[in-house]
Amino acid sequence: MNEWYMQEGPESDVVMSTRVRIARNFNGIPFPSKMKKEDGQLIIKRVKEAVFGRSSAIGENFKFINIQELSPIKRQVLVEKHLISPNLAESRIESGAIISGEENISIMINEEDHLRIQCLSAGLQLNDTWNLCNKIDNLLEESIDYAFDEKFGYLTCCPTNLGTGIRTSVMLHLPALTMTGYIKGILEICSKLGIAVRGLYGENSEAAGNMYQVSNQVTLGLTEEEIISNINNIAKQIIDQERTIRKQLYTQNSFRFEDRIFRSLGLLSNARIITSEEGLKLLSDVRLGVDMGIITDIDIKKLNEILLLVQPASLQESVGGPLNPEERDIKRAETIRSKLK
């Protein structure tokens, strides 16, 4: 297991992951929503050549996935791993993804834009993740002519991506700020600063498991480095606040705090039926316990792995076939139990 999420990154007591993605389009070809089938095929061919071609510096560790050839479950597994977007999973046009062995790099082809280059890292690693993304972008640009405008920058299908085309986000685990309700004030401040805060699975989702994705909304008028730096600063402030409140809660009533954490661990290690919602809630408590040194025989990597494995499609993939919701809840409990043993 050398996947990125099986590593422990900086500030991993609060920051689960860092993600940077950039949107790029081919010059002279309509955006995916308007293009012909042959355009789609041509783009896939050209991107594959750029990555796997004889002169490419990046191809060795990558594999191409044809989205149309995947079963619905396998598509959804990629969504659950944040390797492709829900949009791409539902795509009915020629589309694909080129994914690295460590699953830290994913190049989505013919999503909303022709290209979405995405890099993921454990913990808070905005600069490194951006640098990796930038490197992939430069390598592709050696053989691909991007749609670029001197005034607007990179042209994208949706105007909210115009300019740098960059979306950078950090996934934060904020149980203490959520428990105390202080998260509301933070959400308000972020909104005023043009920073979006969303739940685990992107837009339109609640903060299941106390996990919040903090990302930039503005892509135009700032350099990539300025955008990265803004998110970094905001993230560091939220991290500090979360840590302060965690300590306060623990100091106020350590028995009650530990009771909550160990009860959740006890349920996760013993229950025979666990819904997705309950699983996220209990895993959040256990993660908090690990982060604070209250639970010492489980590490964050194990919890990251469990978080991925207990999602609906991943559970179904593990048994090699469809499971109804009840069967998933049983398989989820079984998976968590065996991983925590």
Residue 269 engages a copy of itself in binding (rule: CB under 8 A): yes
Task: Tokens for 215, please give them.
Answer: 């990302």
Residue 109 parent element (H or E): strand 105-109
Tell whether 40 is in a known binding site.
no
167 appears as a binding residue in the annotation: yes
Residue 173 assigned ligand-binding role? no
Spatial contact of 138 and 211, defined as CB atoms under 8 Å apart: no
CB neighbour class for 259 (10 Å; exposed up to 12, middle 13-18, buried from 19): exposed
- Map the footprint of a copy of itself across residues 321-340, applying CB under 8 A: 330, 333
54 is in an annotated binding site: no
Using CB under 8 A as the binding criterion, the count of chain residues that bind a copy of itself stands at 17
How far apart are the C-alpha atoms of 254 and 203, rounded to whole Å? 35
User: Could you tell me which of 3, 50, 29 has the C-alpha nearest to residue 110?
Assistant: 29
18 appears as a binding residue in the annotation? yes
Q: Does 272 bind a copy of itself (CB under 8 A)?
A: yes
116 is in an annotated binding site: yes
CB nearer to a copy of itself: pick between 222 and 330: 330
Q: Site for a copy of itself (CB under 8 A): which residue of 30, 72, 185, 266? A: 266
- Dihedral angle at the C-alpha atoms of 58, 1, 198, 174, nearest 10 degrees? -130
* 17 known ligand binder: yes
Burial class of 287 by CB neighbour count within 10 A (0 to 12, 13 to 18, 19+): buried
Q: What is the closest distance, in whole angstroms, from the C-beta atom of residue 258 to a copy of itself in the complex?
A: 5
β-sheet bridge partners, residue 308: none
User: CA–CA separation, 2 vs 319, rounded Å?
Assistant: 23
Min dist. Cβ of residue 277 to a copy of itself (A): 16
Binding mask 243-262 for a copy of itself (x = CB under 8 A): ------------xx-xx--x
- Residue 203 marked ligand-binding: yes
Rule CB under 8 A: choose which of 263, 299, 319, 322 binds a copy of itself: 263
Residue 226, both tokens: 């300025």
Q: Which is nearer to a copy of itself, 197 or 267 (CB)?
A: 267
Q: Are 15 and 239 in contact (CB under 8 A)?
A: yes
| DSSP per-residue letters across 233-278 | HHHHHHHHHHHHHHHHHHHH-HHHHHHHHHHHHHHHHH-S---HHH
**Position 276 contacts a copy of itself (CB under 8 A):** no
Q: Which residues are annotated as a binding site?
A: 17-21, 82, 116, 167-171, 198-203
Q: Which residues are annotated as a binding site for ATP?
A: 17-21, 82, 116, 167-171, 198-203
**Which residues of this chain interact with a copy of itself, rule CB under 8 A?**
255-256, 258-259, 262-263, 265-273, 330, 333
